[in-house]
Amino acid sequence: MRTPMHMSMGQEFVSVGVCMALNGRGDIFASYRSHAAFLAQTADTDRFFGELYGRINGIADGKGGSMHLAAPECGHILSSGVVASAIPAAVGAGYANERFNNDRIATVFFGDGALDAGVFWECINTASLFRLPILFVCEDNGFAVHTPRTERHAFNDVCDVVRKFKCAVYEDVSNDVESVYRLTLEATANARADRRPAFLNIKCYRYLEHVGINEDWMIGYRNKSELEFWLSRDSLKIQRERLLSSGLTEVQVVESESEIDRAIQLSVRNAAVAPAPTSELLYEGVFYAAH
Amino acid sequence: MRRISYCDALREATRQEMLRDPSVFVYGIGVNNHAKVFGTTEGLVEEFGSERCFDTPISEDAMTGFGLGAAIKGMRPIHVHIRVDFLILATNQLLNMVSNYIYSTGGRVKVPLVIRAVVGRGWGQGSQHSKSLFSYFTHIPGLKVIAPTTPYDAKGLLTAAIRDNNPVICLEHRWLYWAEDEVPEEPYEVPIGVGRVLLSGHDITVVALSWMNVEARLAATILHRRGVAVEIVDPRTLAPLDDELIVQSVNRTGRCLVADCDWINSGVSAEIAARVSERCFSRLKSPVRRIGFAHTPCPSVRELENEFYPGAHKIVRMIEDMLGLTAADLSHDDFFSHERRFKGPF
């Protein structure tokens, strides 16, 4: 794999909770940290790993790579490698869904770095003004790349600011996938009933470096004690304990985990041996071609 | 045949496509105010309602991404900018999102988005309300760029753009809005990527863009008096460019002047000159020449504006120079200005 990857480890529960609540009715727009959102929405590990490996069984024959995952036929509309840039397209999709009078909910994931961008505020304003039931989901991990919130924001709490718009605001600090699930159900129902967007600010923590698969404690912009705190309430751990205490046996949980692992390993193996795109594919797909 | 203005031709194309296809909608700053973007959106909100024709906050970047999202979802948005200078606020969405989204799906998803932007000279508009920026957009893979000159082409090209499944930018010179010509009432398409010969001649090819076709036409009339036959080629589409038509013409005449209403440096005129040089080198009797804006910001005051903008006068002098002719007396010729409008026909 030769594509810059922004890993979701530690933050996956946000995408999973939201996408499970939307139950396939979400139109998902995501940032470059979109692996979790893509898999939560599509469960398509074959085309996912195909794209990361840059093989012809990928979503776009490897033309997109990690940062541009897009499978609109599965409800993952697009991902963008430029901070905040996916947000306006979600507003347009929200408008289209209203016009089509369907039951889909445009949902956009972004990090708290997007709050620094003007276009985020343009979109909160426009969606509120146009009364579009859209979910703005902020995966608030406290950093824009390596810069902490305190060095970027002249406000203490974004939720206080967004509340001034005609937009419902929800907050979650639980690190718990089921909490996000319930919050999304509530936000979606209210957004539809009240005809207004919802802003969900969900605290979370990025376990690995900004881009890449390694840890980055040696850089010094954050302290490893933070990780220990978040690991102690890791969302996977919370959910596993919940499943066991709800009556599932250890064997059943391990079986389920193994099944997922096998599916992923199979997709990885298939991708690794799939053919690379041939050179003439470079010029194909710049414009739409009927398939 | 019925004659209508360029402005009405744009409006008619929009209205007819909105009637034909309920997914077409028009939005942008001022599309519903009293001026209706020079009249090009007149009557649309009254006929189709504010769901399909609506004003927006002054948030060009957000509203461009809005069009992308709506287009992916199956709508056919037409986003209108009363100045191309304002479209630049949306550069991130245009260059990072709109232009490459289809490629990131392997060419499998449609993005039928039209972005209309008014370009060109006004009345002392100064440096922020007068740009053309043709090459700014043609430089980017994944964008189609049209710049219709005649009312017939305005209707046909905008219709084709609305029906196209890719992002199309339509650049409309505001001095052309008053031009009237024959335009069929029924809907029709002028194919994107196909130019046309506006005037046939055998002494020199003038490849003229947008408004410069009007200036080239006047220059041709002046030069005709002394027996010079100018051929005018209007590419109509700037991307993809109709190379073949231009090459065939230059191969016939052996001379080429590119008349652009934009800056010359790194402009569309440079692209055309390069392609002509590559493909017509052995047939050229003299180097390809170019004419365009002075390489300065656009001044507001008329005396400097006249110097900044190229026109028929400069085209005549350039062609005389290329053909080795003495400068003719132009003191009795009448050139176009904001007050002396071109009203057609072509």
* Contact by Cβ (8 Å): B190, B160: yes
If pLDDT is split at 50, 70 and 90, which confidence band does A291 have? low
The answer to whether A113 contacts chain B (CB < 8 Å) is: no
Q: What is the CA radius of gyration of chain A?
A: 19
pLDDT of residue B346: 86
CB contact under 8 A, B65 and A61: no
CB contact under 8 A, A89 and B97: yes
Domains of chain B in sequence order: 3-182 (3.40.50.970), 196-323 (3.40.50.920)
Give the ranges where chain B is alpha helix by DSSP (H).
6-20, 44-48, 60-72, 84-87, 91-92, 99-101, 134-138, 151-163, 212-224, 243-253, 268-280, 302-308, 312-323
Place of tokens 């209210």: A190
B contact test, residue of A29, A77, A95 with most B CBs within 10 A: A95
pLDDT of residue A47: 96
* Contact by Cβ (8 Å): B28, B2: no
- b/e for A5-36, b at 16 or more Cβ within 10 A? bbbbebbbbbbbbbbbbbeeebbbbbbbbbbb
Residue ranges per structural domain of chain A:
12-283
For residues A5 and A150, give the distance between their C-alpha atoms in angstroms, rounded to a whole number.
Answer: 26
Which top CATH class is A12-283? Answer: alpha beta
Question: Taking every pair of C-alpha atoms in chain A, what is the biggest distance, in angstroms?
Answer: 56
Catalytic residue among B129, B172, B180, B305: B129
Q: Which of B211, B265, B271, B256 is nearest to B236 (CA)?
A: B211
Collect all residues of chain B within an 8 Å Cβ-Cβ radius of residue A91. 62, 65-66, 69
* Contact by Cβ (8 Å): A80, A67: yes
Average pLDDT of the residues in B228-248: 98
Does B276 have pLDDT greater than 90? yes
The answer to whether A89 contacts chain B (CB < 8 Å) is: yes
Q: Which of A95, A38, A33 is nearest to B68 (CA)?
A: A95
Output the 3-class SS for B255-305.
CEEEEEEEECCCCHHHHHHHHHHHHHHHHCCCCCEEEEECCCCCCCCHHHH
Does B193 have pLDDT greater than 80? yes
- β-pair type (B76-81, B114-119): parallel
What phi, psi does B292 have (nearest 5°)? -170, -160
What phi, psi does A275 have (nearest 5°)? -65, 145
CB contact under 8 A, A96 and B75: yes
Place of tokens 């979701």: A8
**Residue A142's CB: how many other CB atoms inside 10 A?**
17
- Is B60 considered catalytic here? yes
Q: Which of B265, B236, B244, B230 is nearest to B144 (CA)?
A: B236
Question: Could you tell me the CA-to-CA distances from A98 to A23, B68, B168, B313 in Å, in that order?
Answer: 19, 16, 25, 54
For residues A165 and B247, give the distance between their C-alpha atoms in angstroms, rounded to a whole number.
Answer: 57
If pLDDT is split at 50, 70 and 90, which confidence band does A159 have? very high
The answer to whether A283 contacts chain B (CB < 8 Å) is: no
If pLDDT is split at 50, 70 and 90, which confidence band does B290 have? very high
Collect all residues of chain A within an 8 Å Cβ-Cβ radius of residue B165. 287-288
Residue of A nearest to B91 (CA): A85
- β-pair type (B237-239, B144-146): antiparallel
Residue of B nearest to A128 (CA): B57
For residues A276 and A63, give the distance between their C-alpha atoms in angstroms, rounded to a whole number.
Answer: 11
pLDDT digits (tens, 9 = 90+) for A23-54: 999 999 999 999 999 999 999 999 999 999 99
For residues A50 and A272, give the distance between their C-alpha atoms in angstroms, rounded to a whole number.
Answer: 8
* Predicted complex ipTM: 0.96
Catalytic residue among B17, B60, B172, B231: B60
| Residue B252 Cα to chain centre, angstroms | 26
The answer to whether A99 contacts chain B (CB < 8 Å) is: yes
The answer to whether A240 contacts chain B (CB < 8 Å) is: no
Mean pLDDT of chain B, nearest integer = 97
The amino acid that residue B219 corresponds to is: A
For residues A245 and A236, give the distance between their C-alpha atoms in angstroms, rounded to a whole number.
Answer: 14
The answer to whether B167 contacts chain A (CB < 8 Å) is: no
CB contact under 8 A, A96 and B73: yes
Q: What is the pTM of this model?
A: 0.97
* Nearest CB partner across the interface for A129, out of B57, B74, B75: B57
CB contact under 8 A, A70 and B110: no
For residues A136 and A110, give the distance between their C-alpha atoms in angstroms, rounded to a whole number.
Answer: 8
By CB atoms closer than 10 A (0-12, 13-18, 19+), residue A139 is buried
DSSP-assigned beta bridge partners for residue A27: A106
pLDDT digits (tens, 9 = 90+) for B51-80: 999 999 999 999 999 999 999 999 999 999
- Is B129 considered catalytic here? yes
CB contact under 8 A, B107 and A287: yes
* Nearest CB partner across the interface for B69, out of A91, A125, A288: A91
